[in-house]
Amino acid sequence: MSARLLEGRPAVVTGAAGGIGRGHVTHLAAAGAPVVINDINEAAAAALAEQVRASGGKALVSTHDIGTRAGAEALVQACIAEFGSIRIMVNNAGNLRDRTLLKMTDEELDSVLTVHVKGTFWCTQAAARAMVEQGSGGAVVNTTSGAHFGSFGQTAYAAAKGAIASMTYTWAMELARHGIRVNAIGPLGTTAMSKTYRDADGNPGQEFDPAMNGPALVYLCSDEASNVSGQVFGTGGQRLSHMVQPHYGKTLVKQDGWDIEAIRQHFQTHMPGEFGAFGILGQPYPFHGGVKAPGAQ
């Protein structure tokens, strides 16, 4: 199989100066894609662009803030102006403001939702409109996280990553008629962002080279994946997993509807057995013994 699956297909990667985005850029460029390296960290983006060019690739630096509509639209236009079109949009930029619900401020919530949710929306809308106008089709890859299953102390981040997964499913439906596929990855990598991560025992966890997400990204952007859309994959490290869409589990039907007594009986017999893996760490449902008010028996 050709190593240059993306020959001549211009790509934009947001938040690409370091961490996982940096690995995406080197793999896209090695697969033949001219790449726009977008990041608010200009020095690091410029150094990466030099590295790509030194390896024979094409790179453009963009310092647009994707947390604004104007920035996202200018980013897509910069790609088209430099490389003639846009065929690949990789929404990778992100930030963190970890705080439990009881302590969280509006500013913290807004900051995370703006970069992740609105940034992904603005960039994809601008890129998809251009792809439709080009008539070329294209590939969008968003970045979600297992945090959207529920992650202690990550109200904003979990909400943002859940929204990104839901937008991925929706856009895959809406854009298929234009030949545009939309998928997402939940990556793994030891990066500036992941340094606050702790596992169930409070340990930082295993280290992963963030560039190990790159091969799956390239594959998803290529025509090899023409039958793949609306899907989310866990990538990075040694794993490659399919993140299963949320869907209705076991469903009972009562023709007359459910009164409180019928609901009580179901909850006291079968329903708790349906409460499966819980939260980002996939632990067994922890509340079978009840969640009680302070001091309650």
Q: How many CB atoms lie within 10 A of CB 38?
A: 31
Size of the site for ligand NAD (CB under 6 A): 31
Question: Using N-to-C axis directions, what is the helix angle for 214-221 and 19-30, rounded to 10°?
Answer: 50
Residue 65 is a binding residue for ligand NAD (CB under 6 A): yes
Q: Which letter, b or e, does each residue of 215-242 get, where b requires 16 or more Cβ atoms within 10 Å of its Cβ?
A: ebbbbbbbeebeebbbbbbbbbbeeeee
Binding residue for ligand NAD, selected from 77, 85, 95, 134, defined by CB under 6 A? 95
* Residue 192 C-alpha from the chain's centroid: 17
Q: Is 20 in the site for ligand NAD (CB under 6 A)?
A: yes
Residue 244-273 contact track with ligand NAD, rule CB under 6 A, x = bound: ------------------------------
Out of 11, 14, 89, 90, the only residue in the binding site for ligand NAD (CB under 6 A) is: 14
151 binds ligand NAD (CB under 6 A): no
Which listed range, 13-21, 26-34, 174-182, 270-278, lies at the site for ligand NAD (CB under 6 A)?
13-21
Query: What gap in Å lies between CA 87 and CA 75, rounded to an integer?
Result: 14
Nearer of residues 32 and 92 to ligand NAD, judged by Cβ: 92
Contact between 28 and ligand NAD by CB under 6 A: the answer reads no
Binding to ligand NAD in span 179-238, by CB under 6 A: 186-189, 191-194, 210
Does residue number 115 form part of the binding site for ligand NAD (CB under 6 A)?
yes
Is 161 annotated as catalytic?
Answer: yes
Report the residue count for the chain. 297
C-alpha 246/C-alpha 146 separation (Å) is 12
Classify residue 142 by burial, with Cβ atoms within 10 Å: 0-12, 13-18, 19+: buried
Q: Is 145 in the site for ligand NAD (CB under 6 A)?
A: yes
| Residue owning tokens 């904003």 | 156
DSSP letter (8 states) at residue 177:
G
Instruction: Find the residue with minimal CB distance to ligand NAD.
Output: 19
Residues 6+ apart with CB under 8 A from 238: none
Nearer to ligand NAD, 29 or 93 (CB): 93
Nearest to 208 by CA among 193, 192, 189, 194: 189
Residue 66 as a binder of ligand NAD (CB under 6 A): the answer is: yes
Least distance to ligand NAD, CB of residue 98, Å = 12
The C-alpha angle with vertex 176 and arms to 170 and 182, in degrees rounded to 5, equals 55
Contact pick of 40, 48, 225, 232 for ligand NAD (by CB under 6 A): 40
Helix or strand (DSSP H, E) at 134: helix 119-134
124, 143, 155, 183: which one binds ligand NAD (CB under 6 A): 143
Among 5, 17, 128, 141, binds ligand NAD (CB under 6 A): 17
- CA 14 to CA 94: how far, in whole Å? 9
Note the residues at the interface with ligand NAD (CB under 6 A): 14-15, 17-21, 38-41, 65-67, 92-95, 115, 119, 143, 145, 186-189, 191-194, 210
The catalytic residue positions are 145, 157, 161
